[in-house]
Amino acid sequence: MKEELHRQFAELVPVKGNWLRMLGHALIELGVVKVLECSRETCLLESRKFDERVKYDRSSRASLSIDHIQEKCAGGSDLPSNLRFVHLACNSSRKLSQEQKNKIGISVKKRWEDLEYRTRVGSAVSSALNQPEIKLKRSESMKRHWADPEKSKQHADKIFNGKRWNK
């Protein structure tokens, strides 16, 4: 049974080393996933099966996605027992209650008030942005961006009309 699920899953997510593939195989091996279909109680799509096009198009509504059964903001964890396979459309459609949104806002505010936390985040971002491959990628992106005459004109207008400098 597990071998068949592993085979079907490997066909559905063919990219080796992909985090989704690794996590999916782990969930199958641990016995959390027993059938390869959307496990949301009220699936939005006609078929609970995952779209084979997921191999080529990760934006398909029927693509495989991993969802938290109990949302992290509501105290859920990343443990395998709290994860499940669902359609991308089903995962994207979940709405947080106002209470859950408030909890997220409060916890983010509390965390951000901590100077040590802000320092660690700032240092991690700075370190990531200063890696040579990231610098090169950003540089190439900016060259492409500024090569577009329309975008260059928009930026120049903002800068020279004082929108950036005189705030």
For 19-28, write each residue's pLDDT tens digit: 777 888 888 8
Rounded Cα distance, 76 and 65, in Å: 17
113-136, pLDDT tens digit by residue?
888 888 887 887 787 777 887 778
Q: Per-residue pLDDT tens for 9-21? A: 887 776 766 777 7
What is the reported pTM?
A: 0.49
pLDDT of residue 5: 84
Residue among 41, 38, 30, 32 nearest 12 (CA): 38
127 token code pair: 């370190």
Q: Is 8 exposed, middle or buried (0-12, 13-18, 19+ CB in 10 A)?
A: middle
The residue to which tokens 């209470």 are assigned:
99
